[in-house]
């Protein structure tokens, strides 16, 4: 039985974020192909973490900057190693290459962090020109074209780190076709190093009808900056206007890890309800009449909008929210970047049964055409088997990756070994000084 080791930046939390859902889908894909899986992380156990052993997946707590990881990895002798985001590859990639050189190295990017950061920087610059907080929070979403994004991203340390990790790995999984095209066309990454593999989902068989639903819903992990920014746009600009048009409605905001600054916004009199953690996000999504996701920046594809489609809940979002998910002209709801257009869309969808039902039907169509599990079943393992048989030639052709592994891993290795030596000295001094 082949063995996969997943090196997680955090422990998977599928009920907290789309990233957690994504990781579970990857684990299940390997299990369906009879792989043995060990999930390892240096992160502390989290409140909402998934019970991996109950699913037949072994767990291992590993240390950063410690040779104990190398010994553990050698004992595991994996056939493949999956890095959860580029930061994990930076931390452990050189150790994996040194200890298990024949293991296929996979990178799950989740989304392009540098793209999200570039859009956020552009948004903040536009907001800085506003004369008041009200004006700042009414600034619309970031809609820069790829050539403008290139100018913002090209010199960033974050992009260079992400690209280096992609080149050092044998295959990187991408959830967004837009980001794949940005990498191949704008940054000239070889297509052979990338694979499109989004989240996947199927529609519920009997979603609640129009008459059985009420209120608006917005869902997103509060620790994720684009989600928090969307909450602020709703609170200070969009929701007051929607509420004025529909005074009996409420907006229910759900998400993991709400900070005090979020719960302080809770105002039942204004219909602005910050409700925090949802045990079952799809259950609360499926009761709402309309999903609001006014994202002003971000990257990847949005789990909340995929959940809305699954539940047959029409959504109102921006071009950033809809990116890489569906044609904006065939969105199951409305896509708009103007506050007035978002307001009109939210009110109309909430009141117009015919328009609402058409959007619900479009949800099923979009899921079937773009995110059906059958469309992607087995694709990753097929690609992995090909890699295993052509690995030497594949790596030889990736000359940039070879150079980066030679130089970057050496510097990362020396820094890690310096930290490890420093920690050993500190531990020895502590033992000598103890009574």
For 61, phi then psi, to 5°, come to -90, 125
Q: Can you tell me which residue has the tokens 């020895």?
A: 428
**CATH number (domain holding residue 64):** 3.40.50.2000
Do 77 and 161 lie in a common domain?
yes
Do 7 and 111 lie in a common domain?
yes
Return the pLDDT at 408.
Answer: 61
Return the pLDDT at 194.
Answer: 98
* Three-state DSSP class for residue 377: coil
Do 22 and 90 lie in a common domain?
yes
Residue 434 lies in a domain: no
Residue 433 lies in a domain: no
Do 388 and 350 lie in a common domain?
no
Helix extents (H) in 234-279? 239-245, 260-263
Do 357 and 411 lie in a common domain?
no
pLDDT per residue over 365-381, tens digit each? Answer: 999 999 999 999 999 99
Residue 140 lies in a domain: yes
pLDDT per residue over 2-45, tens digit each? Answer: 999 999 999 999 999 999 999 999 999 999 999 999 999 999 99
Q: Of 326, 356, 371, which residue sits at a domain end?
A: 371
Give the mean pLDDT of 183-206.
97
Residue 205 lies in a domain: no
Do 345 and 248 lie in a common domain?
yes
Return the pLDDT at 422.
Answer: 72
∠ CA 402-404-408, rounded to 5°: 135
Contact present, 233 and 337 (Cβ < 8 Å): no
Do 65 and 169 lie in a common domain?
yes
Give the mean pLDDT of 395-422.
76
| pTM for the predicted model, two decimal places | 0.93
Mean pLDDT of the chain: 94
Return the pLDDT at 273.
Answer: 98
- The domain total for the chain is 2
Q: Can you tell me which residue has the tokens 């006014």?
A: 294
Return the pLDDT at 47.
Answer: 86
Residue 148 lies in a domain: yes
Q: Of 371, 391, 416, which residue sits at a domain end?
A: 371
Q: Of 371, 397, 412, which residue sits at a domain end?
A: 371
Residue 435 lies in a domain: no
pLDDT more than 90, % of the chain: 91
Full domain range(s) for residue 159: 3-116+125-200+376-428
Do 166 and 310 lie in a common domain?
no
Do 404 and 364 lie in a common domain?
no
Return the pLDDT at 428.
Answer: 65
What DSSP designation does 35 have?
-
Under the banding of pLDDT at 50, 70 and 90, the label for residue 413 is: low
Contact present, 394 and 192 (Cβ < 8 Å): yes
Res 411 pLDDT > 70:
no
Do 356 and 389 lie in a common domain?
no
Give the mean pLDDT of 342-347.
98
Do 228 and 251 lie in a common domain?
yes
Do 356 and 424 lie in a common domain?
no
């Amino acid at each position: 039985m082949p063995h996969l080791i997943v090196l997680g930046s955090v422990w998977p939390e599928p009920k907290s974020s789309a990233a957690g859902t994504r990781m579970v889908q990857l684990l299940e894909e390997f299990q369906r192909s009879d792989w043995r899986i060990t999930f390892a992380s240096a992160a502390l156990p989290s409140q909402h973490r998934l019970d991996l052993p109950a699913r037949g997946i072994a767990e291992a707590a590993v240390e950063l900057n410690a040779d104990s990881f190398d010994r553990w990895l050698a004992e595991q002798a994996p056939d493949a190693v999956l890095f959860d985001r580029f930061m994990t590859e930076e931390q452990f990639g050189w150790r994996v290459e040194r200890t298990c050189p024949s293991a296929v190295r996979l990178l799950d990017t989740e989304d392009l962090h540098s793209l999200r950061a570039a859009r956020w920087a552009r948004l903040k610059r536009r907001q800085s020109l506003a004369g008041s907080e009200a004006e700042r929070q009414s600034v619309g979403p970031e809609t820069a074209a790829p050539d403008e994004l290139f100018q913002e991203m090209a010199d960033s340390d974050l992009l260079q780190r992400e690209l280096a990790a992609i080149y050092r790995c044998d295959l990187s999984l991408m959830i967004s076709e837009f980001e794949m095209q940005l990498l191949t066309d704008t940054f000239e990454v070889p297509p052979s190093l990338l694979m499109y593999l989004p989240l996947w989902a199927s529609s519920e068989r009997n979603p609640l009808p129009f008459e059985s639903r009420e209120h608006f819903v917005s869902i997103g992990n509060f620790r994720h900056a684009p989600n928090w920014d969307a909450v602020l746009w709703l609170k200070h600009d969009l929701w007051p206007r929607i509420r004025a048009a529909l005074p009996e409605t409420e907006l229910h905001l759900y998400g993991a890890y709400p900070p005090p600054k979020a719960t302080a916004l809770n105002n039942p009199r204004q219909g602005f309800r910050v409700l925090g953690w949802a045990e079952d996000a799809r259950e609360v999504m499926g009761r709402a009449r309309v999903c609001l996701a006014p994202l002003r920046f971000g990257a990847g594809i949005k789990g909340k909008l995929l959940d809305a489609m699954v539940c047959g809940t029409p959504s109102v979002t921006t071009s950033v929210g809809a990116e890489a998910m569906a044609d904006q002209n065939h969105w199951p709801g409305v896509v708009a970047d103007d506050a007035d257009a978002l307001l009109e869309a939210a009110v109309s969808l909430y009141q117009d049964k015919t328009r609402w039902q058409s959007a619900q039907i479009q949800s099923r169509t979009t899921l079937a055409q773009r995110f059906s599990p059958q469309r992607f079943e087995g694709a990753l393992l097929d690609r992995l088997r090909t890699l295993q048989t052509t690995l030497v030639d594949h790596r030889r052709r990736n000359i940039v990756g070879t150079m980066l592994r030679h130089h970057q891993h050496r510097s990362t290795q020396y820094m890690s070994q310096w930290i490890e030596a420093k920690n050993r000295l500190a531990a020895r001094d502590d033992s000598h000084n103890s009574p």
